[in-house]
Each structure stands twice: as C-alpha cells, then as structure tokens.
Structure 1
C-alpha cells in the first residue's frame, strides 16, 4: 500500500505559481535597483556640477558658462524628478509583487502542512492495519497450535 497525496496536483500547481511569482518579483527588484542606481548617478552628477560651479564662481567664470551650467543643472533636475517618480513606481511595483509572492508562499505551505498531516494519518492507519493483521496471525497461530 503506497501513499498518494490527494492534493498533489494542486500542490504542484501552487508551487509553479510560487516560482512564477518569485521570478516576477526578482525582475521587479532588478528593475528597481537599475532605476535607483540611475537616480543615484544623476544626483551625484548634479552635486559634482554644483561643486564645480561653486568653485568656478570663486575663481571667476564667464556669464555664458554660468548660464550654460544653470541650464544644464535645470535639465538635470527635470531628469532627476522623472527618475524619482520612476523609483517610486518601481518600489511600489516591487512591494506589490513581494506581497503576491508571500501569498503564494503561504498557499504552498498550507498544502504542504495538509500533506504532512495526511501522511501522518496514513502512517497511523497503516500501523493499525499491520497491528491488526499481526493480531489475527497470532490468533490463527494460537488456534492451530492448540488443536
């Protein structure tokens, strides 16, 4: 008598869904990291540009160059704002997929727990059946021995 879990197909489906959710979550994390890294680079570039401009002002920069730097910093700030929104969206998306992954993980654990309980119950029944068979054999042996 071999053990067969009655929800094996459901568990396999749930595990596959969990793996897909894991993959989607990993992609979301990767995209978040890429966008956040780009934002960091832009902020760093802006800071370096502002430091360069500040030191240039002390040394005396031509007006045209100051305007050029201000225009460039203005464009950089617009790009930074765009990337800040992208980071927020990527973080929200990553958090959403993390929640979905956690839900799938919980579903799989529930079915695994059911399988464990079912297997324990199966083993208890098997032991009880074997014990009953041993008792029957002992009684038969005793009856045959007594005759």
Structure 2
C-alpha cells in the first residue's frame, strides 16, 4: 500500500503561494532599501552643503553665494521630503507583503502538520495490518502442525 496525502494539491498550492509571497516581499524589501539609500544620500548631501556653508561663513560670504546656498537647501528640502514620503510608502508596502508572507507561511505549516499526522496514521495502520498478517500466518502454521 502506498501513502497518498488527501490534501496534497492544496498543500502544493499553498507552498507555491508562499514562495510567490516570499519573492514579492523580497522585491518590496529591495525597493525600500533603495528608497532608504537615496534618502540617506540626499540627507548626506544636505549635511555636506550645510557644513561647507558654515565653514565659508567664518571667512565671509557673498550675497550671491548665500542665495545659491538657500536655493540649493530649498531644493534639497523638497527632494528629501519627497524621498521621505516614498520611503514611508515603500516601508508600508514591505510590511504588508511581510504580513501576507507570514500568513501564508502559517498556512503551509498547518498543512505540514496535517500531512505528518496523516502519514503517522497511515504507518500505524500499516503496522497493525502487518501484525494481523503475522498473526494469521502464525495461526496457519500452528494449525498445520496440529493436523
């Protein structure tokens, strides 16, 4: 007798869904990491610009360079604000994908548990049938000796 899991197709479907969710989560995490990296670079540029301006203030600065600094700071603030929104959106998207992945992973574990239980029942029944067969063989041999 061979073992067949009654929910094999459903289990395979759930495993495929989990694998697809893992890929989606990985893509979302990569996108979040990319957004975070761009935000970090923009913040670093702003810090460098501020440090450069502070250093030039000690030696004197022209009105034109001060205006250019303020324009660059305004531009960087706009870029940083947009990147922060994008990074927050990417984080939320990644967290949603993670929740889906966790839910599907739990489903897969449930089917694994069901599979193991059914396999143990099958093995127990096989052993019981084997013992019955052995008892039957023993009874026949005993009956032959007695006749």
Q: TM-score, normalised by structure 1?
A: 0.99
- Say which SS state the counterpart of residue 6 (structure 2) adopts: coil
Q: Distance in 2 between matches of 1:35 and 1:87?
A: 5
Match of 2:29 in 1: 29
Does residue 1:104 correspond to 2:107, yes or no? no
User: CA shift at 1:84, angstroms?
Assistant: 0.5
CA positional deviation for 1:75: 0.7
Counterpart in the other structure of 1:19: 19
SS of the residue corresponding to residue 99 of structure 1 reads: helix
Unpaired runs of 5+ residues, structure 1, are: none
Deviations 1:21-41 (A, max 9, x none): 000000000000000000000
Question: 1:78-118: CA deviations, max 9, x gaps?
Answer: 11000001111111110100000000000000000000000
Matched residue SS, 2:112: helix
2:48 corresponding residue in structure 1: 48
Residue 10 of structure 1 and its aligned partner are, at CA, apart by 0.6
Aligned residue for 1:4, secondary structure, equals coil
Deviation at 1:61, TM superposition (A): 1.3
Residues in 1 aligned to 2:58 and 2:71: alpha-carbon distance in whole angstroms: 19
Tell me the secondary structure at the aligned position of residue 102 of structure 1: helix
Residues 1-147 of structure 1: pairs in structure 2 closer than 5 A: 1-147=1-147
1:5 is paired with a residue of what secondary structure? Answer: coil
Q: What is the deviation of 1:57?
A: 1.1
Q: How many residues align?
A: 147
Deviations 1:115-137 (A, max 9, x none): 00000000000000000010011
